[in-house]
Amino acid sequence: MNDLPWYVGYFSGRHWLKNVDYSIDDVVRVIEASRDLKNKFYLGVETPYLKGRTLYLIFYNKSLRTRNSFQTGVFQLGGQGIYISPDQVYAPTLPEDMVPYQTEAISDVARVLSRYGDGIAVRIYGDAAKWIIGRGHRVIEEFAKWSKVPVLNMEDDLYHPFQSLADAQAALEALGWPKKLLKGRKFVVSYAYSGGLKPLAVPQDVALMASMLGADVYIAHPPGFELLDEVLAKVKEFTDSWGSEFKVVNNMDEAFEGADFVYPKAWSPKGFFPPFSRDSKVHKEEAMDYQSKFRDWITTIEKLYEAGRPYYMHCGPADRGQEVSDEVLDRYDKSLYFNEAENRLHVQKAVMSMVMARVVR
Ligand code: CP
103 and 190 co-located in one domain? no
Give kind and range of the element (H or E) at residue 103.
strand 103-105
Looking at the fold, whether 107 and 214 belong to one and the same domain comes out as no
**Is the preceding peptide bond at 100 cis, omega within 30 degrees of 0?**
no
Residue 61 alpha carbon to ligand 1 centre in Å: 10
CA–centroid distance, 101 to ligand 1, in Å, is 31
Residue 196 lies in a domain: yes
Supply the pLDDT for residue 2.
62
* Ligand 1 atom closest to residue 69's alpha carbon, by position in its atom list: 8
Instruction: Supply the pLDDT for residue 71.
Output: 98
Q: Judge if 127 and 229 occupy the same domain.
A: no
Number of domains in the chain: 2
CATH number of the domain that 311 lies in?
3.40.50.1370
Q: Strand order of the sheet with strand 311-312?
A: 246-249, 216-220, 186-191, 261-265, 311-312
- Domain span at residue 307 reads 162-341
Other C-beta atoms lying within 10 Å of the C-beta of residue 89: 12
At residue 280, the pLDDT reads: 96
Task: Check residue 345 and give its pLDDT.
Answer: 99
List pLDDT tens digits, range 64-76.
999 999 999 999 9
- Closest ligand 1 atom, CA of 316? 1
The pLDDT-based confidence of 258 (bands split at 50, 70, 90) is: very high
Whole-number pLDDT of residue 358: 85
- Together in a domain, 184 and 309: yes
- Measured distance CA(266)–CA(68) in Å, rounded: 23
Q: Residues lining ligand 1, CB < 6 A?
A: 63-66, 155, 163, 315-317
Q: Dihedral through CA 271, CA 272, CA 277, CA 282, nearest 10?
A: -160
Q: Identify any residues that bridge with 84 across adjacent strands, giving them in sequence order.
A: 58
Residues of the chain with pLDDT > 70, as a percent, come to 99
Residues 225 and 146 in one domain: no
Q: Give the helix ranges, DSSP H, for the chain.
A: 24-43, 65-76, 106-116, 135-146, 161-174, 201-212, 229-242, 252-256, 284-291, 301-307, 326-331, 337-356
- What is the per-residue pLDDT across 179-209, written as a single tens digit (0 to 9) for each? 999 999 999 999 999 999 999 999 999 999 9
- For 322-334, the pLDDT digits (tens) are 999 999 999 999 9
Taking only the tens place, the pLDDT of each residue in 214-239 is 999 999 999 999 999 999 999 999 99
Q: Is residue 1 part of a domain?
A: no
Helical pair 161-174 and 201-212, crossing angle rounded to 10 deg: 50
Helix (H) or strand (E) holding 80: strand 80-84
Mean pLDDT computed over 27-43: 98
The best mutation among 61, 63, 202, 319 to test binding of ligand 1, ranked by most ligand atoms within 8 Å of the C-beta, falls on 63
Domain identity same for 154 and 173:
no
Q: Kindly give the distance from the C-alpha atom of residue 69 to the centroid of ligand 1, in angstroms, as a whole number.
A: 10
Residue 10 lies in a domain: no
| Ligand 1 atom closest to Cα of residue 66 | 8
Residue 80 and residue 119 in one domain: yes
The answer as to whether 276 is a domain residue is yes
Instruction: Kindly report the protein residue whose alpha carbon is nearest to atom 7 of ligand 1.
Output: 64
Residues 193 and 217 both lie in one domain: yes
Counting beta carbons within 10 angstroms of the beta carbon of residue 361, is it exposed (0 to 12), middle (13 to 18) or buried (19 or more)? Answer: exposed
CA distances from 302 to 16, 127, 180, 344 (A): 39, 36, 30, 29
Interval between CA 228 and ligand 1 midpoint (Å): 22
Using most ligand atoms within 8 A of CB, pick from 155, 157, 265 the residue to mutate for ligand 1. Answer: 155
Which of 200, 315, 336, when mutated, tests ligand 1's pocket best, judged by the most ligand atoms within 8 Å of its CB? 315
What pLDDT, on a 0 to 100 scale, did the predictor assign at position 1? 59
Residue nearest to atom 4 of ligand 1 (CA): 65
Q: Kindly give, in sequence order, each residue whose CB lies less than 8 Å from that of residue 274, ignoring residues fewer than 6 positions away.
A: 131, 132, 133, 280, 281, 282
C-alpha 361 – ligand 1 centre gap (Å): 36
- The residue whose CA is least distant from atom 3 of ligand 1 is 66
Burial of 182 (0-12, 13-18, 19+ CB in 10 A): buried
Q: Identify the DSSP state of 300.
A: -
Among 134, 248, 128, residue whose Cα is nearest residue 188: 248
* Ligand 1 atom nearest to CA at 155: 3
Exposed e or buried b for every residue in 110-139, given b needs 16+ CB within 10 A? beebbeebbbbbbbbbbebbebbbbbbbbb
Distance CA 81, CA 102 (A): 24
Q: Is there a contact between 353 and 50 (Cβ–Cβ < 8 Å)? A: yes
- 2 domain-assigned: no
The reported pLDDT for the residue numbered 181 is 98
Distances 38 to 2, 123, 345 between C-alpha atoms, Å: 20, 24, 9
Is residue 205 located within the same domain as residue 308? Answer: yes
Is residue 205 located within the same domain as residue 120? no
133 lies in the same domain as 177: no
| Position 306 in a domain | yes
Distance between CA atoms of residues 299 and 264, nearest Å: 7
Instruction: Flag whether 210 is in a domain.
Output: yes
Q: Is residue 31 part of a domain?
A: yes
Percent of the chain topping pLDDT 90:
98
pLDDT of residue 359 exceeding 90: no
Q: How far is Cα 282 from Cα 268, in angstroms, rounded to an integer?
A: 12
- For 116, half-sphere exposure in the C-beta direction (CA atoms, 13 angstrom radius) is 11
Question: What's the mean pLDDT in 32-52?
Answer: 98
Q: What is the mean pLDDT of the chain?
A: 98
- 119 and 187: one domain? no
Predicted confidence (pLDDT) per residue in 81-111, tens digit: 999 999 999 999 999 999 999 999 999 999 9
Which atom of ligand 1 sits closest to the CA of residue 315?
Answer: 1
**CA–CA dist 313, 261 (Å, integer):** 7
Alpha-carbon 137 to chain mean position: 13
Query: Which atom of ligand 1 is nearest to 61's Cα?
Result: 6
d(CA 11, CA 16): 10
* Distance between Cα 65 and ligand 1 center (Å): 5
